[in-house]
Chain A
Amino acid sequence: MNETVSQAVAKAAAARPQHALGEELLRQLRRPFPWLVVAFTLLCGFVPYLTDDVGLRESLLLAAVYVTLASNLNLMIGFAGYVNFGNIVFFGLGGYIGVYLATSWHVNLVAASLAAGVLVGFLAYLFGLGILRLRGAFFALATIGVNEAVRAFVTNFEPWGGATGIYLSMDAYAPLGGPMAGLWICYFLLVAVMGLSLLLAYAIKTSKFGLGLLAIGQNEDAAAVLGVPTPLYKAIIYSVSGFFPAVAGSLYFFKSGIIEPTSAFDLTASIESIVMLMLGGAQTITGPVIGAFLYEELRGYLLVSQTFSHLQLVLAGALLLLIVLFVPGGFMGWLHTRLPWLRRWLE
């Protein structure tokens, strides 16, 4: 060694002036991937509109919801390594808050949905402070408990319709220009939420915060010793991971016209988002997109096929098992190892 280590470090620090956040952001914007996400989002939004294809719109709407759920779940599972089995609670609770605000308080849809997102994120932060001290399976079980507890609460909460839920009448869509226009507006908003979720995941992954999360996901104790403020980061990401699903929930249930406890807090949907995430590839940004589309295709086929319709859970489980055992990186993980140059284009 012809120079000491610390001299090397000092030299490196001096050579690059301190980069402001803005410079790092500009650097990321010069990469192709974020623009691909924007293009993809715009495509999803406009193709059904320009072709006036309602069937396509409906299936893309569902896909957008799945991608949103899977992508935000990725923040917990893929980045921080915490398995959130009860992630659907964000979707359901956001749905209830948004729909309630939009109907009973006549708040406009966008504001109501954003409020739902913020409230759910805040509640998640509070809950997170408690349950994020738990590790591994304990945390996973606790998240199921949270989902069940919220569902039990909502089922008994009269202002929100109790066990029957809330039905929207046709004039709820009047501020949007009527039911037909309302459907399209909800669709565009949901696609936008999907795009924003993907961009958020990308922004986090390429940030210092994201590096800290990935370290936590690899080895939480080692990360703490290295200086990553683990309790704070975990609470933040749990809270953040609830925001867009809550917004999506508000939009989705508003568009559906009805929200009730059993389907709003359906644990199966929670599990399916995990399967989608693992299928597509956790820790990647495109993974949730691929996984959601693939799974939706598979599910659509199964529901129609006579033999398999009630074996949906079995097949999802078998799929998850095969992925965990043989392809834990999912589709994108496999693709990245085969074609390393692809990482630049499809993160």
Chain B
Amino acid sequence: MSALLEVTHLSRRFGGVHAVSDLSFSVDEGEILGVIGPNGAGKSTLFNLINGVVPPDAGRIVFDGVDITGEPPYAVARRGIARAHQIMQPLLGLTVLENCMVGACFGRENMSLADARAAAREVAQSVGLGDRVDTLAGALTTAGKKRLEMARALSARPRLLLLDEVLAGLNPTEIAHMIETIRGIRRSGITILMIEHVMRAIMSLSDRIVVLNLGRKLAEGRPREIAENPDVIKAYLGDSKLLAAVEAAP
């Protein structure tokens, strides 16, 4: 399997803080790559760099063989990278259907309005918002908004999906449901790069994991190796969730 996304020597500073330093890794097509790390490790900045919200100071980002370093967000979206954000940004004055249509119309597929309408309806249905397609996004519950965030990203039929802490704030049942959804997304051929703090979930979902700390790559490998890695354990020292996940990892 070839690398769909290759990140090499990526760096970005904000003022005096090195948010991301000399970061290199790759994501193979069809895999689920998890990104974990303590708070402030640079995970969200990494996503911002990949989808063009923030340009890097140094380094390259190659997607499907094309150098997309420094391209603006809308160009990156056209290439087939979609993102579900940690801090949800629904288009509040538009309906669920319209939100998804935006994704479908302006993403990789570049659909016409009619096609986008149909695609959006199907995607909304599949994440459980089928009964609320005409509700204004602003009127949804928090859980509903999270599903919308996901649906909107999927409506573009991306090749790479960036999931930014989509499990945050969900109860165990919702988490289990979301895990199944994510597995389903991968089965349909979409590559997934996900940031997550819910250790149990990311350990069981990911094919491989990259651990960031203070903007640098601390470790990379299969979940089992990561869980037993002394540097990783040290970085999370005191984090009971990781230790519990280590014990519970398959």
Contacts and interface: CB of A to CB of B under 8 A. Distances in A.
Chain A–chain B contact at Cβ < 8 A: yes
A225 B184 contact: no
Given A8-B126, A13-B119, A212-B106, A218 B91 contact: yes
B204 interface: no
Main secondary structure of the interface of B (DSSP, over half): helix
Contacts of B180: 1
Contacts of B93: 214, 217-218
A219 interface: yes
B72 interface: yes
A63 to B, nearest CB: 29
A3 B130 CA distance: 14
A226 B184 contact: no
Interface stretch (A15-23, A125-133, A153-161): A15-23
Given A9-B122, A16-B114, A226 B154 contact: no
**Chain A interface mostly helix, strand, loop or mixed?**
helix
Contacts of B152: 226
Interface string B131-154: 000000000000000000000101
Interface string B100-142: 0111011101011111101101110111000000000000000
Contacts of B184: 1, 4-5
A58 interface: no
Contact of A226 (B75, B103, B127): B103
A159 to B, nearest CB: 42
B171 interface: no
A225 B112 contact: no
A228 interface: yes
A229 B123 contact: no
Contact of A4 (B74, B78, B187): B187
B206 interface: no
Interface residues of A, number: 39
Interface residues of B, number: 51
B124 to A, nearest CB: 10
B53 A221 contact: yes
A347 to B, nearest CB: 15
Nearest to A232: B74
Contacts, number: 136
Given A5-B184, A226-B103, A228-B74, A208 B154 contact: no
Interface string A183-215: 000000000000000000000001110011011
A8 B125 contact: yes
Contacts of A3: 126
Contacts of A24: 112-114
Between A7, A8, A9, A23, the greatest number of chain B beta carbons within 10 A of the residue's beta carbon is seen for A9
Interface string A30-70: 00000000000000000000000000000000000000000
B35 interface: no
B102 A226 contact: yes
A144 interface: no
B102 A6 contact: no
Given A225-B53, A226-B103, A18 B89 contact: no
Interface string B164-196: 000000000000000011001101111000000
B51 interface: yes
13 contacts: A3-B126, A4-B188, A6-B154, A9-B157, A27-B114, A211-B102, A214-B94, A218-B92, A218-B94, A221-B53, A222-B90, A226-B152, A227-B156
Interface of B: 51, 53, 72-75, 77-78, 83, 85, 89-94, 98, 101-103, 105-107, 109, 111-116, 118-119, 121-123, 125-127, 152, 154-157, 180-181, 184-185, 187-190
